[in-house]
Structure 1
């Protein structure tokens, strides 16, 4: 059931992983921190706040680098990478980040103090088309068997690494099951140590919504799954990740008001159970046509291997392109374990 259920999340390991405002330091582990009051329609009860209308939480500045300068209103910058024998790179954009799609076989952990990488292996052009592998849009395969949607007319989105499946509406674009999606860290865009844009957040097996509406290759929202091994709990993983994604996707300069819900139990209609949390950023300083408020939902669960994983969905907020709450609920209702041939 939806009310009272919240997805918890965790961090997909990325070779380029670096600190972000919600992980270094981790505000939810600091003594005296109280979550602000917040409620998104359909996401359950808000957390009580000592101030009417919900307390405002200002995210701490990310250590180790200055805040990114104004970018003339460009949206989140994204890059797509498919890994086979070589890297294929694609740049895209929405709010403030980089989309990276690629295979990643390394162990995934969620740490409060991730270490920045030494280098990356390919550079990303400003715009490019995907090469190397195609993105299965219909009936992708999991473990050699065909995966069909549980919602008639929708598309299944398969994650081979995190062992989950969910369905999205037919107008969404589904990437490959082993592809990786990340949003770039704008504070590191001039850091010459990184040949690829340094990611702030990462997920795998993604699908995106309304790409190109604002700028070429931008998306108004996306969903996917990431690892959460090392998280202290399902709930804390979901709470942290929900904030991570609204910060990374919509307001890395921290000009708006960040709010999140407490994590609560969530059970999909198809057997996935865990903890779910939501977050929003509103009042983001408008610097261009693509600047917008945002929202995110995060759901943390144990996969079929017993490992923690977090499913993420983020969306623009307060525009005609916002993903409706009813659609988000329906997508989440379809979350299910990936059944593979033994």
Structure 2
């Protein structure tokens, strides 16, 4: 049981609430990783708590809603989520996709989110998580030892794919547990209550940079003031917005600046959804913007969403 209720809406960094989001419970993570905020991944399965990830990632079970505020990062134990199977049928030539999906780019991996009726592709060196897994960032201002705060996080997304989960390993809090920081991740999130695709994109993108790379600071974030129209290769129309950090105040071996892009659109049921990708910047293995845009170009609709 949990007794706390996280905020009903997902606010942007300026205290505004662009659209309301459902709430979900989350058990405490058991300590932080220095100044790095943990990645929280929630797998729909039996109740188990494991940590992994982008600066501290928590895998736990439960049928959660990725439409809630979310948390992100690190490993106190090996990640337990397995790769999701990529489908074998040919990718369809229309935005709806097919019931089974093969990557639109030969040699890449398809990432499918049945809940929101979406799919996209990632290069072969990415790890594709199960559709029921959520990944996001914890809030550094929240005391997770208090059950009343379970479920409070900066932002989450579902059915993610992760690049180099253990790109950087550290024990910044000197508790004897090595924590892994991932290089980049991408996934899809609901945007119920958004008034437009631009509203949804702007309402989410800077939270990924804040959650993973700058919090509790907001001054080091540079973000688009308006979203731009964008159409994927399959014909899905929507809006994109970028956010980046410069000179983040976060400290620690794995601290870095970061960037994020959010593409918001409507699924086949007419609901607003948002695909996001975030990653470290100004590092040796930084994911190039050109690769990010190539991944974004593969975003497509995939059947009818199970969540309306």
* TM category, shorter: 0.7 to 0.9
Secondary structure of 1:91 counterpart:
strand
Please give the alpha-carbon distance, in whole angstroms, between the structure 1 residues aligned to 2:276 and 2:288.
15
Deviation at 1:23, TM superposition (A): 5.6
Q: Which residue of 1 aligns with 2:215?
A: 252
Q: Which moved more, 1:179-188 or 1:272-281?
A: 179-188
Deviation string, structure 1 residues 114-170 (Cα, Å, up to 9, x no partner): 8x9xxxxxxx99623455x63325438999943210101110000111111100011
Please give the alpha-carbon distance, in whole angstroms, between the structure 1 residues aligned to 2:289 and 2:246.
17
Q: Which residue of 2 aligns with 1:78?
A: 39
Deviation at 1:83, TM superposition (A): 2.0
Greater relative contact order, per chain length (Cα 8 Å cut-off, separation 6+): 1
Where in structure 2 are the equivalents of 1:144-293 lying within 5 Å?
Answer: 145-193=99-147, 198-215=152-169, 216-254=179-217, 256-261=219-224, 262-293=226-257
Please give the alpha-carbon distance, in whole angstroms, between the structure 2 residues aligned to 1:16 and 1:279.
29
Please give the alpha-carbon distance, in whole angstroms, between the structure 2 residues aligned to 1:263 and 1:317.
22
Please give the alpha-carbon distance, in whole angstroms, between the structure 1 residues aligned to 2:133 and 2:193.
22
Q: Which residue of 1 aligns with 2:27?
A: none
Please give the alpha-carbon distance, in whole angstroms, between the structure 2 residues aligned to 1:200 and 1:246.
10
Please give the alpha-carbon distance, in whole angstroms, between the structure 1 residues aligned to 2:222 and 2:193.
24
Please give the alpha-carbon distance, in whole angstroms, between the structure 2 residues aligned to 1:217 and 1:152.
30
After superposition, the CA RMSD in angstroms is 3.5
- Retained in 1: the 8 A contact 2:36–2:250? no
Gaps of 5+ in 2: 20-31, 92-96, 170-178
- Retained in 2: the 8 A contact 1:102–1:178? no
Deviation at 1:275, TM superposition (A): 0.8
Q: Which residue of 2 aligns with 1:94?
A: 54
- Retained in 2: the 8 A contact 1:75–1:94? no
Which of 301, 326, 329 is 2:293 aligned to? 329
Gaps of 5+ in 1: 1-14, 30-70, 117-123
Secondary structure of 1:83 counterpart:
coil
Asked if 1:136 is matched to 2:99, the reply is no
Give me the TM-score of the superposition, normalised by structure 2: 0.76
Q: Which moved more, 1:232-241 or 1:308-317?
A: 232-241
Cα separation, partners in 2 of 1:106 and 1:255, compared to 1, 3 Å: closer
Secondary structure of 1:186 counterpart:
coil
Please give the alpha-carbon distance, in whole angstroms, between the structure 1 residues aligned to 2:75 and 2:138.
13
Secondary structure of 1:207 counterpart:
strand
Deviation at 1:72, TM superposition (A): 7.3
Secondary structure of 2:208 counterpart:
helix
Q: How many residues align?
A: 271
Cα separation, partners in 2 of 1:101 and 1:171, compared to 1, 3 Å: farther
Please give the alpha-carbon distance, in whole angstroms, between the structure 2 residues aligned to 1:138 and 1:107.
21
Please give the alpha-carbon distance, in whole angstroms, between the structure 2 residues aligned to 1:151 and 1:125.
30
Deviation at 1:176, TM superposition (A): 0.8
Q: Which residue of 2 aligns with 1:25?
A: 15
- Retained in 1: the 8 A contact 2:58–2:74? no
Deviation at 1:28, TM superposition (A): 7.8
Q: Which residue of 2 aligns with 1:38?
A: none
